[in-house]
Every structure is written in structure tokens, then in C-alpha cells.
Amino acid sequence: MEGTAVLGRLNWQLGEVVATRPETPRTKSITLDVPGWTGHRPGQHVDLRLTSEDGYHAERSYSIASPPEDRSRVTLTVERIDTGEVSPYLTDELHEGDQLELRGPIGGYFVWEASMGGPLFLVAGGSGIVPLMAMIRHRAAAGPSVATRLLYSSRSLGEIIYRDELDRLTQSSPGLEVAHTLTRETPPGWAGYRRRVDADMLRDVAWPPDQNPLTYICGPTPFVEGAATILAGLGYGPQRIKTERFGPTG
């Protein structure tokens, strides 16, 4: 949103872990209570900073999964990258009552608010669902009239993050459609797609270009680039496509 007021510089501050919750075998949601938190917009992220005993810092970005309607609480969802420096600590070693250094909320470009309208097209690969989930939760709370489609690619059924909540929201929140694709393993009787996101799938699921949808794509870097390139080829204007690359895929 252009013309936003001065926000001030970001400083590191402490949040306290008030809840953790496994979402899938490899992902965990972490809810933080951050004193003085002034709220956030759906799609924004925070930076976390871990400091080792010898003073060495590691910083990583994590999207906010919770909607702004949650007020002073911030929930992140972290996928464990087995060889990673930071994510295994967050998923395995962080517990209720622990303190965590963070700064945020960050960003304004990869943000969707109900007032921006739609139709909305969301494309997620793996943990790329996290900032899009903040948008979906916000939409359910504040803008359920915006027609929304989510195309969500996961490796297997068990790796779909927020699966039950997405099922519930498609029932309770009219105008929200969710299409899943599973790339590695499909259970018997699976009715969704069973391959990587490709042009045919995007043509099926995306709003037609003449409806001028707002599109947000998030996930591993190669996933985001693939989907964005295909959509551009299908005639979607780049000004209406926003991307958030999370980094390489393991």
C-alpha cells in the first residue's frame, strides 16, 4: 500500500513461546507472545535470530501464519530441514516458556488484505502455504466474499500442512476452493492431482486471465519460478503476480 506512514526502524525484541503444535511429522507451529506487538498484515514475516554461546548469530526469515485478527500473538510454522542450522532447533528444541529473539513485522509487497479484493489465486509448495494461510484465515475472518482458489502442492497426504483446517474452511467459508496435488505418494482413492504443478493444472485451477486475478505464489525457489513462468506464459500480467521464494529445495 503506497503512502503508508513511517514505521520506524526495526529492532530485535524478545518473544516468549506460549504454545507449540506439530502440524505434520516435519513441521511445527510456534506461537509467540511478543510484548508491544502492534499487529501485522497477512503475508508478512519476521526475522528470527539465534545466538550461540560464542556470540555467533544466525538469522532466518519465517512467515506469519496467524491472521491479524489474532492481535498480540504471532504464530509461525517451521519445516524441519534436516541439514539446516536453524530449523531443527526451532522444531525440536524450542519449548513453551523459551524466549526467542525476533524483529518484525516485515514486508508490505507480499501482502493481501480483504480490501484489495480479488479474485484471489494462491499457489503454495510445501511450507510455502504459511503466508498464504494467514491470507486465508484473514479472508475467513474479514473478507469471505472474495472468491479464492488455492492450489497446494505437497509430497504426500501426511505432509499437507493445515489439512484439516483447510477442509473445514472450504466447508464453512463459501467461495474458497482448495485443490491439492501430491508429488511423491498418493493414498488409494486419492481424488486430487498426482504430479508436479504444470501448465495443464494451472490452466484448470487458475481464474481465467480476463478476470484479472491477484496471484500469490510461495514455496521453494524452483517451485515459485516454475509456477510464475507458466502463469506468465498463460497470459497473466506480471504486475498481478507476487512471489515469495523460500530458498532451495532439499
Partner 1 sequence: MQGRMGRENKLDGNASAGTLQAIFPFEMTEVMVTCAGCGASNVIGETAAYVSGMGTIVRCPSCDRALIRIARLEGRSYLDLRGSRVLRIHADG
Ligand X SMILES: Cc1cc2nc3c(=O)[nH]c(=O)nc-3n(C[C@H](O)[C@H](O)[C@H](O)COP(=O)(O)OP(=O)(O)OC[C@H]3O[C@@H](n4cnc5c(N)ncnc54)[C@H](O)[C@@H]3O)c2cc1C
List residues binding partner 1 (CB under 8 A): 1-11, 45-47, 58-59, 61, 103-104, 106-110, 221-222, 242-248
Nearer to ligand X, 81 or 94 (CB): 81
Nearer to partner 1, 6 or 191 (CB): 6
Q: How far apart are CA 13 and CA 103, in angstroms?
A: 6
The residue within the footprint of ligand X, chosen from 18, 49, 73, 81 (CB under 6 A), is: 81
223 near ligand X, rule: CB under 6 A:
no
Residue 130 Ramachandran class (φ > 0 left, ψ -120 to 50 alpha, else beta): alpha
Enumerate the β-bridge partners of residue 213.
none
Nearer to ligand X, 82 or 164 (CB): 82
Nearer to partner 1, 22 or 250 (CB): 250
Provide the mask over 152-171, with x wherever binding to ligand X is found by CB under 6 A and - wherever it is not. Answer: --------------------
If contact means CB under 5 to 8 A according to the sort of partner, which of ligand X, partner 1, none does residue 86 touch? ligand X
Q: How far apart are CA 172 and CA 155, in angstroms?
A: 26
Beta strands (DSSP E) in 13-54 are 13-24, 27-33, 45-51
The residue within the footprint of ligand X, chosen from 111, 130, 146, 151 (CB under 6 A), is: 130
**Neighbour-count burial of 76, counting CB atoms closer than 10 A to its CB (0-12 exposed, 13-18 middle, 19+ buried):** buried
Peptide bond between residue 105 and the one before it cis (omega within 30 degrees of 0): yes
